């Protein structure tokens, strides 16, 4: 029983902690997701190549705007889901700016200028954007829309955190083409 | 028993391996429920457009359930509704046989490439501005154009997307609003979508073939433009000619909407609609103005609405039973989408 209560307490704490995660504000009072990563073993050029490769790999969702020898500016979007029991459906789209800069021994990246575009079910049962004009995530919603906006903010943070984790993992991984493994052959002539 | 379990395990494992080969989206589940109160100023049902038909009654719309899944390039949508709006009021011929539900969408789709896809099954019609589901409409009552046009088309269609700004659809369809064709695959239809500027989308639609009115051709323009973050303008214009002087209709509806607050949008629907002469029987013309508010809180939308209709041929009645040219109603609907 004690163990059960302890487990319940841990789970509840984890849930509350997860709910509290939200974007900090930058110097302009806008939401930002900002990371500086120490990377002593990977050269600056390799980091740039890997960052470009990450964007190319996700070209449907991130498009490069500007590139220099040590920085990339891009615009991206990701779909936010609404969960109903175990199933879910898209509730909207999060648009963002993505910036990446590298220096010897470290790099930094950040997401900002977040905008939300709500989706609505169309006549064919598909979820599509209701407008092309995004609403900045920093807006103060009315009382009627407050709960829904809070859920959108939480989902936006989790999605951004996931993209950031994928990006960091991608930059930390060497993707040299592996030698093709020879397929195993079994001869039935000799036995 | 052991063999059966082994077989099930083998099939499940194979399915799992197969599924891992293609990217799979989770099963999407969504839907809506709606209910309404309507008070007709003539103290009896008077305006004959679809839905919100009961006078002085808290009545049901429908419960609508949608499933969608995509595995690799293949996807399906299944949408089913229960209740007057999605059932007897949408598909009377099925109701006559005592149906207890109405399939809104039931189709499979395959994306051959990013540009080209094919869809087969029973689909919401590509004609018109308004739809059966109250979630897809701003106004709760419906226009004469919607009421007179097709609700659904069963068939097979191919869509080619030239770019995000232009796409073309062509398809072969059954007659309107039926699960199976009464006279074979009798209609041909097409849709050109253009998006000249960001936020403005226009659909030019044609459907020629069999309907409840007979053989005929309908041309339709449906467009909407999000001009600013607060103001949106929609337009629907259609012309329908039934062969051999069988009548038809023509009309235009304008839908300006303005967000007055974060959760409150006001919208107007102004419509002119005319039925065409059938033989020696003259057609008749309606004008209609509907003022609607959408007040949103989470998944719930309250829709208060006032509607005034006019027809000089006196199709409406007063509370004392006298024929009059004008009709009016107030309704309050609650729609919850999940």
A46-83 pLDDT, tens digit each: 999 999 999 999 998 999 999 999 999 999 999 998 77
Under 8 Å CB-to-CB from A181, ≥6 apart: which residues? none
Q: How far is A120 from chain B (nearest CA, A)?
A: 8
pLDDT of A179 reads 64
Integer Cα distance of B277 and B285 in angstroms: 11
Q: How far is B298 from chain A (nearest CA, A)?
A: 5
- Helix-then-strand count for chain B, H and E: 3, 18
State the residue for tokens 């433009």: B225
Under 8 Å CB-to-CB from A162, ≥6 apart: which residues? none
B66 close to B77: Cβ distance less than 8 angstroms:
yes
Residue B247: left if φ>0, alpha if ψ -120 to 50, beta else—which one? left
**What is the CA angle B287-B291-B297, rounded to 5?**
150
Integer Cα distance of A131 and A140 in angstroms: 19
Displacement of CA B201 from its chain's centroid (Å): 17
Phi, psi of B260 (to 5 degrees): -85, -20
The answer to whether B337 contacts A147, with C-beta atoms less than 8 Å apart, is no
Alpha-carbon distances of A149 from A116, A144, A145, B168, rounded to whole Å: 10, 10, 6, 36
- Residue B31, SS3 per DSSP: strand
- Among A123, A142, A147, beta carbon nearest to B131: A123
- A103-160 pLDDT, tens per residue? 988 999 999 999 999 999 999 999 999 888 889 999 877 777 888 888 899 999 999 9
Question: What is the DSSP pairing of strand A87-103 with strand B166-173?
Answer: unpaired
Name which of B86, B134, B164, B298 to mutate to probe chain A: the one with the most chain A Cβ atoms within 10 A of its Cβ: B298
CATH number of A22-171: 3.20.20.70, 3.30.530.80, 3.40.640.10, 4.10.80.400? Answer: 3.30.530.80
Q: Which two tokens stand for residue A35?
A: 């990371």
User: If contacts are CB pairs under 8 Å, which of residues 46-85 in chain A contact chain B?
Assistant: 82, 84-85
Q: Which two tokens stand for residue A157?
A: 């943070």
Integer Cα distance of B225 and B232 in angstroms: 6
Residues β-bridged to residue A78: A94
3-state helix, strand, coil in chain B (%, to 5): 10, 55, 35
- Among B30, B123, B126, beta carbon nearest to A121: B30
Integer Cα distance of A64 and B114 in angstroms: 21
Integer Cα distance of A115 and A153 in angstroms: 10
Question: What is the DSSP pairing of strand B200-211 with strand B214-226?
Answer: antiparallel
Closest alpha carbon within chain B to A122 = B136
Name which of B27, B29, B111 to mutate to probe chain A: the one with the most chain A Cβ atoms within 10 A of its Cβ: B29
- Residue A188, SS3 per DSSP: coil
Closest Cα to residue B260, out of B224, B293, B227, B290?
B293
Which pLDDT tens digits describe chain B residue by residue (338 residues)? Answer: 455 445 434 443 443 333 334 455 678 999 999 999 999 999 999 999 999 889 999 999 999 999 999 999 999 999 999 988 877 777 755 555 666 788 999 999 999 999 999 999 999 999 999 999 999 999 999 999 999 999 999 999 999 999 999 999 999 999 998 888 888 899 999 999 999 998 999 999 999 999 888 899 999 999 999 999 899 999 999 999 999 889 999 999 999 999 999 899 999 999 999 999 998 899 999 999 999 999 999 899 999 999 999 999 999 999 888 999 999 999 999 999 99
Q: How far is A103 from chain B (nearest CA, A)?
A: 36
Q: Looking at the complex, does the CB of residue B338 fall below 8 Å from at least one CB of chain A?
A: yes
State the residue for tokens 């030239």: B162
Integer Cα distance of A191 and B268 in angstroms: 85
The DSSP secondary structure of A14-78, one letter per residue, reads HHHHHHH--PPB-TTS-BEEEEEEE-SSS-HHHHHHHHHHHHHHTTTTEEEEEE-SSEEEEEEEE
- Among B28, B125, B296, beta carbon nearest to A145: B296
Closest Cα to residue A134, out of A151, A119, A150?
A119
Integer Cα distance of B207 and B187 in angstroms: 7
List of chain B residues whose C-beta atoms are within 8 Å of the C-beta of residue A122: 124, 136
Q: Looking at the complex, does the CB of residue B58 fall below 8 Å from at least one CB of chain A?
A: no
Radius of gyration in angstroms for the set of CA atoms belonging to chain B, rounded to a whole number: 22
Closest Cα to residue B265, out of B293, B306, B223, B301?
B293
The answer to whether A132 contacts B133, with C-beta atoms less than 8 Å apart, is no
The answer to whether B261 contacts A142, with C-beta atoms less than 8 Å apart, is yes
- Residue B6, SS3 per DSSP: helix
Question: What is the DSSP pairing of strand B285-297 with strand B200-211?
Answer: unpaired
Does the domain at B24-337 match CATH 2.40.160.10? Answer given as yes
Q: Looking at the complex, does the CB of residue A132 fall below 8 Å from at least one CB of chain B?
A: yes
- The number of C-beta contacts closer than 8 angstroms across A and B is 81
Please report, for chain B, the start and end positions of each structural domain, with discontinuous segments joined by +.
Answer: 24-337
Q: Looking at the complex, does the CB of residue B197 fall below 8 Å from at least one CB of chain A?
A: no
The answer to whether B29 contacts A126, with C-beta atoms less than 8 Å apart, is no
pLDDT of B21 reads 40
Neighbours of B3 (CB within 10 A): 7
């Amino acid at each position: 029983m004690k163990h059960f209560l302890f487990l319940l307490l841990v789970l509840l704490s984890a849930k509350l902690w997860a709910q509290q995660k939200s974007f900090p504000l930058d110097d302009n009072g806008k939401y930002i997701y900002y990371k500086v990563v120490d990377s002593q073993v990977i050269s600056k050029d390799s980091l740039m190549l890997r960052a470009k490769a990450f964007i190319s790999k996700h070209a449907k969702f991130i498009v490069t705007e500007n590139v220099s020898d040590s920085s990339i500016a891009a615009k991206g979007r990701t779909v936010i889901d609404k969960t109903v029991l175990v199933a879910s459906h898209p509730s909207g789209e999060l648009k963002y700016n993505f910036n990446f800069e590298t220096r010897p021994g470290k790099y930094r990246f950040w997401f900002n200028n977040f905008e939300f575009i709500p989706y609505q079910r169309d006549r064919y049962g598909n979820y599509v954007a209701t407008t092309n004009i995004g609403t900045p995530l920093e807006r103060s919603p009315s009382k009627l829309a407050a709960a829904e906006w809070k859920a959108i903010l939480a989902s936006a943070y989790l999605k951004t955190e996931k993209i950031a984790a994928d990006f960091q993992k991608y930059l930390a991984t060497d993707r040299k083409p592996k030698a093709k493994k020879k397929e195993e052959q079994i001869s039935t002539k000799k036995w | 028993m052991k063999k059966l379990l082994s077989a099930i395990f083998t099939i499940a494992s194979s399915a799992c391996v197969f599924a891992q080969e293609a990217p799979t989206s989770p099963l999407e589940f969504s839907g809506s429920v709606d209910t309404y109160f309507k008070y007709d100023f003539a103290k009896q049902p008077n305006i004959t457009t679809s839905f919100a038909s009961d006078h002085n009654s808290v009545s049901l719309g429908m419960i609508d359930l949608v499933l969608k899944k995509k595995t690799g390039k293949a996807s399906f949508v299944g949408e089913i509704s229960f209740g007057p709006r999605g059932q007897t009021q949408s598909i009377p011929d099925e109701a006559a046989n005592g149906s207890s539900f109405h399939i809104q969408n039931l189709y499979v789709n395959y994306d051959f490439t990013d540009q080209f896809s094919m869809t087969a099954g029973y689909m919401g019609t590509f004609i018109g501005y308004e739809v059966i589901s109250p979630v897809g409409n701003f106004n709760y009552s419906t226009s004469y154009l919607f009421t007179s046009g097709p609700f659904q088309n069963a068939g097979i269609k191919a869509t080619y997307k030239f770019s995000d700004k232009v796409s073309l659809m062509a398809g072969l369809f059954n007659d309107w609003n039926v699960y199976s064709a009464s006279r074979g695959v009798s209609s041909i239809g097409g849709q050109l979508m253009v998006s000249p500027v960001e936020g403005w989308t226009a659909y030019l639609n044609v459907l020629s073939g069999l309907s409840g009115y007979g053989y005929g051709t309908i041309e339709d323009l449906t467009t909407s433009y999000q001009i600013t973050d607060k103001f949106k303008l929609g337009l629907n214009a259609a012309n329908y000619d039934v062969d051999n002087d069988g009548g038809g209709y023509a009309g235009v509806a304008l839908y300006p909407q303005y967000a007055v607050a974060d959760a409150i949008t006001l919208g107007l629907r102004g419509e002119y609609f005319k039925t065409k002469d059938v033989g020696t029987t003259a057609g008749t013309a309606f004008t209609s103005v509907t003022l609607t508010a959408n007040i949103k809180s989470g998944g719930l939308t309250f829709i208060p609405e006032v509607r005034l209709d006019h027809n000089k041929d006196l199709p409406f009645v007063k509370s004392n039973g006298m024929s009059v040219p004008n009709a009016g109603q107030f309704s309050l609907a609650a729609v919850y989408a999940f």
